[in-house]
Structure 1
Amino acid sequence: MNISNMDRLWSVDDVSTYLGVPVKTLYQWKWRGEGPPVRKIGRHLRYDPAKVQAWVNGEVAA
């Protein structure tokens, strides 16, 4: 199976790097209901890259 980078969901580390914030901040945002939209898959947090980018641009509420 060949999955391009745009088709895969981002990990907490990916979003941390993209936004330039610590991983701990992303977990705090999720706990508070803030930050970019996130889904829990199993015990892992995953982000849709398009929704993270839309959140950065102010187009999506958390």
Structure 2
Amino acid sequence: MVKERVNDFVSRLGVVGELLVFLWRAKMWWLIPMVVALLLFAILIVVANAGPAGPMIYTLF
């Protein structure tokens, strides 16, 4: 039951889910926090460029 839910969740994530599954199966757990941090940073950049919050976020850097 839990395994089915995990597989369903991973299938919804697409490429990112497959990357996380690969890192988990290849026992590269130490890379998972780095990949998550890079993904969050990429999302921040996309959001900063897309809306009126752009100038506010640019002042942080």
Q: TM-score scaled by structure 2?
A: 0.30
* RCO higher in structure (CA 8 A, sep ≥6): 1
Q: Which has the higher helix share?
A: 2
Q: TM-score scaled by structure 1?
A: 0.30
